[in-house]
Structure 1
Amino acid sequence: MHRSGTSCLTGSLEEAGLFLGDRHTWNPHNLKGNRENQQIVDINDRVLGAVDSAWDNPPSGRVAWPQDELAAARVLFAAYAQHSPFGFKDPRTLLVLSGWQCLFPHMQYVGIFRHPLAVAGSLHKRSGMPLAQGLNLWFAYNRRLLQEYRRAPLPILCFDDEQSLFQEKLQGVLASLGFDSSEWRGEFYDEGLRSAQLNAADQLPWHIRRLYRKLQRLAV
Structure 2
Amino acid sequence: MKNEKCSPIIFIGMHRSGTSLLGRLLEDLGLFVGTKKDENNEALFFLELNSWLMAQCGARWDNPEQLDYLWNPEVEPVLTVSKNYVSDLMKSPRAARYLGMKRYLSQHSIFAQSTPWGWKDPRNTFTLPFWLDLFPGARLVFIERHGVDVAQSLRVRADCSIASTQNRYSKLKPITWLIPKRGGFCDSPRSLSLEGGLSLWDTYQTRAQTQLDSVAQDRVFRVRYEDLLSEPLKILKDAAEFCGLSTSDQRVQEITRSIKPSRAYSYSKSQDLLEFAKTHQNTLAKWDYHA
What residue is the counterpart of 2:30 in the other structure? 17
Helix, strand or coil at the partner of 2:143: strand
Would you say 1:210 and 2:285 are equivalent positions? yes
What residue is the counterpart of 1:109 in the other structure? 140
Would you say 1:197 and 2:266 are equivalent positions? yes
> For residues 84 and 279 of structure 2, what CA distance do their matches in structure 1 show?
42
2:116 and 2:243 in contact (8 A); partners too: no
Q: Identity of paired residues, percent? A: 27
2:221 and 2:242 in contact (8 A); partners too: no
The alpha-carbon deviation at position 39 of structure 1 amounts to 1.6
Deviations, residues 112-164 of structure 1 (Å, cap 9, x unaligned): 00000000000000013211111111011111111122222211111123624
What residue is the counterpart of 2:234 in the other structure? 168
Query: Which structure 1 residue ranges, 4+ long, deviate > 4 Å from structure 2?
Result: 192-196
What residue is the counterpart of 1:29 in the other structure? none
Report the more deviating stretch, 170-179 or 34-43: 170-179
The alpha-carbon deviation at position 58 of structure 1 amounts to 1.4
> For residues 95 and 116 of structure 1, what CA distance do their matches in structure 2 show?
18
1:8 and 1:189 in contact (8 A); partners too: no
The alpha-carbon deviation at position 204 of structure 1 amounts to 5.0
The alpha-carbon deviation at position 189 of structure 1 amounts to 7.0
Of 56, 59, 69, which aligns to 2:65?
Answer: 59
Deviations, residues 68-127 of structure 1 (Å, cap 9, x unaligned): 532343244443324522200100011111110111100011100000000000000001
What residue is the counterpart of 2:248 in the other structure? 182
What residue is the counterpart of 2:55 in the other structure? 49
2:142 and 2:223 in contact (8 A); partners too: yes
Report the more deviating stretch, 137-146 or 165-174: 165-174
Deviations, residues 162-207 of structure 1 (Å, cap 9, x unaligned): 6241342221122233222326425167446969930322225355
> For residues 162 and 174 of structure 1, what CA distance do their matches in structure 2 show?
13
> For residues 194 and 53 of structure 1, what CA distance do their matches in structure 2 show?
32
Of 202, 205, 215, which aligns to 1:142?
Answer: 205
What residue ranges of structure 1 are gaps of 5+ in the alignment? 26-32
Report the more deviating stretch, 144-153 or 87-96: 144-153
2:233 and 2:256 in contact (8 A); partners too: no
Report the more deviating stretch, 89-98 or 71-80: 71-80
TM-score by length of 1: 0.82
2:34 and 2:43 in contact (8 A); partners too: yes
Say if 1:178 and 1:82 are closer, same or farther in 2 by CA, change over 3 A. closer
Q: How many aligned residue pairs are there?
A: 208
Say if 1:210 and 1:23 are closer, same or farther in 2 by CA, change over 3 A. farther
Report the more deviating stretch, 2-11 or 166-175: 166-175
Helix, strand or coil at the partner of 2:133: helix
Say if 1:196 and 1:22 are closer, same or farther in 2 by CA, change over 3 A. farther
> For residues 155 and 13 of structure 1, what CA distance do their matches in structure 2 show?
13
Say if 1:57 and 1:115 are closer, same or farther in 2 by CA, change over 3 A. same
2:33 and 2:118 in contact (8 A); partners too: yes
> For residues 285 and 22 of structure 2, what CA distance do their matches in structure 1 show?
24
Helix, strand or coil at the partner of 1:179: coil
RMSD: 2.8
What residue is the counterpart of 2:121 in the other structure? 90
> For residues 63 and 190 of structure 1, what CA distance do their matches in structure 2 show?
41
Task: Letter of the 1:208 partner, please give it.
Answer: T
1:12 and 1:189 in contact (8 A); partners too: no
